[in-house]
Amino acid sequence: MQRIAVLTSGGDAPGMNAAIRAVVRSGLEVGCTVYGIKNGYRGLIDDDMREMGARDVGGIIQLGGTVLGSARCAEFKTAEGRQTALNNLAKRGIEGLVVIGGNGSQTGGYELSKLGFPVVGVASTIDNDLAGSDITIGVDTALNIALEAIDRLKVTASSHRRAFAVEVMGRDSGYLALMSGIAGGAEAVVIPEQEIPAERLEEILNEAYARGKMHGLIVVAEGAKNNGEKLRQYFHEHKDRIGFELRVTILGHVQRGGTPGAFDRLLATRLAARATEHLIRSEHGVLIGWIKGAALPTPYPEVIGKKKPLDLDLLRLADVLAQ
Ligand code: ADP
Protein residues with CB under 6 Å of any ligand 1 atom: 9-11, 41, 72-73, 76-77, 101-105, 107-108, 111, 125
Specify the range with the lowest mean pLDDT, choosing from 48-57, 177-186, 242-251. 242-251
> Best substitution site from 45, 76, 82, 287 to test ligand 1's pocket, by max atoms within 8 Å of Cβ?
76
SS3 299: strand
Q: What are phi and psi of 108, to 5 degrees?
A: -60, -45
Rounded Cα distance between 50 and 41, Å, is 14
CA–centroid distance, 101 to ligand 1, in Å, is 9
Q: What is the pLDDT of residue 24?
A: 98
pLDDT at 159 over 80: no
Share of the chain above pLDDT 70, in %: 100
Q: In this structure, which amino acid lies at residue 124? A: S
Q: What are phi and psi of 288, to 5 degrees?
A: -95, 120
Residue 56 annotated among the catalytic residues of the structure: no
Question: Would the CA dihedral through 194, 201, 158, 317 be positive or negative?
Answer: negative
CA–centroid distance, 277 to ligand 1, in Å, is 24
Give the pLDDT band (50/70/90) at residue 88: very high
Domains belonging to the chain, first-starting first, are 3-138+260-302 (3.40.50.450), 141-256 (3.40.50.460)
Confirm if 153 and 217 have CB atoms less than 8 A apart: yes
Other beta carbons within 10 angstroms of residue 115's beta carbon come to: 12
> Best substitution site from 41, 105, 113 to test ligand 1's pocket, by max atoms within 8 Å of Cβ?
105
pLDDT at 161 over 90: no
pLDDT at 37 over 90: yes
Rounded Cα distance between 215 and 135, Å, is 31
Q: Which residue puts its alpha carbon closest to atom 5 of ligand 1?
A: 104
Atom of ligand 1 nearest to the CA of 82: 25
Confirm if 34 and 4 have CB atoms less than 8 A apart: yes
User: In the predicted model, what is the mean pLDDT of residues 164-170?
Assistant: 93
Q: H or E element: which one contains 144?
A: helix 139-160
